[in-house]
Chain A
Amino acid sequence: MLTTDRVGGVALALIGLFVLFESRKLPLGTLQNPGPAAMPVVLAVLLLGFGAALVALGAGAARLAAVGWSEWRHAVAIFGVCAFAALALERLGYRVTMVAALAFLVGGVERRGVVFTLVFALALALGTFFVFDTVLRVPLPRGPLRF
């Protein structure tokens, strides 16, 4: 039966295997003088062991089918907006990126009115830029048009 512990255990074991595979590029050293790969290898083996134990002992955990994912559309939209922000931040500048991201979230995802969306997005993006960049001197990216 698929349970949360078993799914988590398999994922952790796969991460452990991946780290073991990647660690082969680094010197392992000896038991007395461990190299840069030693600690990752030990941790990967531990993770593999914990993953296997979770799979073996995880029958009593909650069933995977019982986990609610009703908000997944919202989550994907928010994640997409954050990914856009990461991609655009240094290309378009902080203010343009944030205005676009906020406009999409508030207007597109949350279905608020156009005027409210624009005022909110502009006020928050420009306001945070003024407070952090201008007042607190935390440098924020400006983009190709210096904006």
Chain B
Amino acid sequence: MLETLANLGLGFSVALSPPVLLYAFIGTVVGTLVGVLPGVGPLAGISLLLPATYGLDATRAIVMLAGIYYGAMYGGSTTSILMRIPGEAASVMTCIDGYAMARKGRAGAALAIAAVGSYVAGTASIVALMFLAPPLAGLALRFGPPEYFALLLLGLLVLAYMSGGSMLRALAMAALGLLFGMVGIDQMSGYFRFAYGVVELGDGIGIVPVAVGLFGLAEILATAGQPTPPAVIKPRLRELLPSRREWGESAAPIGRGTVLGFLIGVIPGSAHIISSFVSYAIERKLSKRPEEFGKGAVAGVAGPESANNSATSGAFVPMLALGVPSGPIPAVMLAAMMVHGVSPGPFLIKQQPELFWGFIASMYVGNLVLLILNLPLVGLFVNLLRVPYPILYPSILVFSVLGVYAVNGSVVDVWIMLLMGALGYVLRKLDFETAPIVLGVVLAPMIEMALRQSLAMSDGRYAIFVTRPIAATLLAVGAVLLLLSLKPLVMHTLDWRARLALAAKREEHS
């Protein structure tokens, strides 16, 4: 405990230094702008802005990217409340009661509750991250290739299981992502795989063009021809304070959302999206007036907003402690860290304590900046929504091409982004989730290396995966998940994932 606090002191000495503070500030502002823009979520936002951090040292770059991440998470709620358009997927549930509150003249109160809920959840979950990551990293030091193989496989299975809708479709997308990850030089034998003479493909398909293509370009292709978005409700500053009754009604949902979001965040999957759906369902179930949900219930804003921000910090636990991304956004963050010469994993905390603890402390600072900044500046962010989409999307396209090109200075990456954009567009139309593809691309080389190293260790005996207790346990959990996913097929019933997908679809169409 004392050691943790001493380390946190070190972190604050880094985070409160003026240059780092400045980049945390810039990151949260830019992140909020990215979150406010419909179609540019945190994933595409981080990918696009990665080149802007090239000139910075690792600590400042990571602090800024993290600021973009949680700024974008908060920014998404603004469009949900004022326009009924989720800036990013995790804000879908906020649309329902947030917009209903706005129509009743309580837009300011809804924004304030979302901001305070996000702040409380963000801060509390960082405390949990701070205490959980170091012991988990200690445990990970006992991991060898078989344990990593089992963990990575489990990560993909959990992601597929936690995705709303069909696990079969999610697994197919994960397999497709893993196949994309096979392109390039085989690390063990030096063979070129599926490169077709394109030298730039030797290093494999990069995560940034894949993420920007699947999430940024595909969104633009699908939405640019749609009718323009509805008018924006502009709140007045004096309306920003919620009433005493609204504060009272939001306290418990914020607390529940914080705990729930963190727990879901640690588990692989699109945590922030799932956590907001689950939080909304729980709040409606626990409410004394469930009929108010959908008509402006305060708990319907406070719970999901807290949950998705708490999940954001939770998702950093496996990434920082194990070096294993739990979803597409941590995967891009992992890639960004590697670009800056930082390898997240069990050795990060010991070898670069100022970076790890500086990052943790900057998250506290960033959350405070978000709270102080976002409420007074909400009018400014709202004005951004007044830019007509026919002007906005060409600008986003320019940043997409620029961001993707700048990562390696290669046009091949721009072509990959284009192909991924087209693929993402078609997959959206066919109702396939694209998040498992992104994770598959990142995990493919790791899984293959861990498998082949394990077999080299055991003279080719596959029993190594069941004779080592940690690997065997992880694989057993994966097998249970597979069996659970088969249950609705055998019983001919809808499980929670199918119900979640139906709820999301209903909200999209309403």
A89 to chain B, nearest CB (A): 6
Contact among A36, A44, A79 for B179, CB-based, below 8 A: A44
Q: Is the CB of A120 within 8 A of B455?
A: no
Which of A53, A132, A139, A141 is within 8 Å of B168, CB to CB? A53
Residues of B in contact, count (CB < 8 Å): 65
Is the beta-carbon distance between A106 and B391 smaller than 8 angstroms? yes
Interface presence of B383 (CB below 8 A): no
Tell whether B432 is near chain A: CB-to-CB under 8 Å.
yes
Cα–Cα distance between A27 and B455 once the two chains are bound (Å): 17
Enumerate chain A residues within 8 angstroms of B395, measured Cβ to Cβ: 124
Q: A89 with B405: in contact, given A4-B431, A35-B189 (CB under 8 Å)?
A: yes
Q: Once bound together, how far apart are the Cα atoms of A136 and B54, in whole Å?
A: 8
Inter-subunit contact A71/B429 (CB<8 Å):
no
A83 located at the interface, meaning its Cβ lies under 8 Å from any Cβ of chain B in the complex? yes
A75 CA to B222 CA, complexed, in Å = 7
Residue among A15, A50, A51 with the highest chain B CB neighbour number at 10 A: A50
Q: Are A43 and B398 CB-contacts (below 8 A) given A32-B459, A74-B224, A136-B52? A: no
As a 0/1 sequence over residues 71 to 87 of chain A, the CB contacts with chain B under 8 angstroms (1 = contact) are: 11111001101110110
- Residues on A with beta carbons closer than 8 Å to the beta carbon of B432: 8
Pairwise interchain contact A31-B179, C-beta atoms closer than 8 A: no
B405 touches A43 (CB 8 A): no
Stretch of B139-147, B169-177, B370-378 on the interface side? B169-177
State the interface size on chain A (CB cutoff 8 A): 68
A145 at the B interface (CB under 8 A): no
Select B221's contact among A33, A79, A86, beta carbons within 8 Å: A79
Digitize B93-130: 1 where CB-to-A-CB distance is under 8 Å, 0 elsewhere: 00000000000000000000000000000000000000
Q: How far is the CB of A106 from chain B (nearest CB, A)?
A: 6
Q: A39-B451, A89-B405 are in contact. Are A75 and B168 (CB under 8 A)?
A: no
- With A82-B217, A120-B391, A137-B54 as contacts: A89 and B179 at CB distance below 8 Å: no
Which of A57, A98, A141 meets B398, CB within 8 Å? A98
Contacting residues, chain B, for A74 (C-beta < 8 A): 221, 224-225
B186 at the A/B interface (Cβ < 8 Å)?
yes
- Scan A97-127; emit 1 where CB is below 8 A from any B CB, else 0: 0100110011000101000000010001100
Also in contact, A47 and B414, with CB within 8 A (given A67-B429, A74-B225, A79-B221): no
Cα–Cα distance between A39 and B399 once the two chains are bound (Å)? 35
In contact, B398 and A89 (Cβ under 8 angstroms): no
B401 at interface, CB cutoff 8 A:
yes
**Residue of chain B at shortest CB distance from A31:** B460
Minimal beta-carbon separation of B203 from chain A (angstroms): 16
**Interface readout for B386-425 with A: 1 if CB under 8 Å, 0 if not?**
0000110111011101100110010100110110011001
CA distance A80 to B182 in the complex (A): 28
- Give the residue of A50, A83, A86, A132 whose beta carbon is less than 8 angstroms from that of B406: A132
* Separation of A7 and B223 alpha carbons in the complex (Å): 22
Give A13-42 as 1s and 0s: 1 = Cβ < 8 Å from B's Cβ atoms.
Answer: 001000100100011001111111101100
| Chain A residues within CB distance 8 Å of chain B | 4-5, 7-9, 12, 15, 19, 22, 26-27, 30-37, 39-40, 43-44, 46-47, 50-51, 53-54, 57, 61-62, 67, 69-75, 78-79, 81-83, 85-86, 89-90, 94, 98, 101-102, 105-106, 110, 112, 120, 124-125, 128, 132, 136-141
- Residue pairs across A and B with Cβ atoms less than 8 A apart, 9 shown, are A5-B430, A31-B460, A34-B452, A37-B193, A71-B226, A86-B401, A106-B394, A132-B51, A136-B51
- Ranked 10 nearest A-B pairs via Cβ: A32-B460, A71-B225, A74-B225, A50-B172, A36-B186, A110-B390, A36-B191, A75-B221, A4-B430, A86-B414
Q: Identify 10 new A-B residue pairs, CB closer than 8 A, beyond the known A71-B223, A98-B398.
A: A4-B429, A4-B431, A15-B176, A22-B194, A36-B188, A54-B168, A78-B397, A128-B399, A132-B51, A137-B54
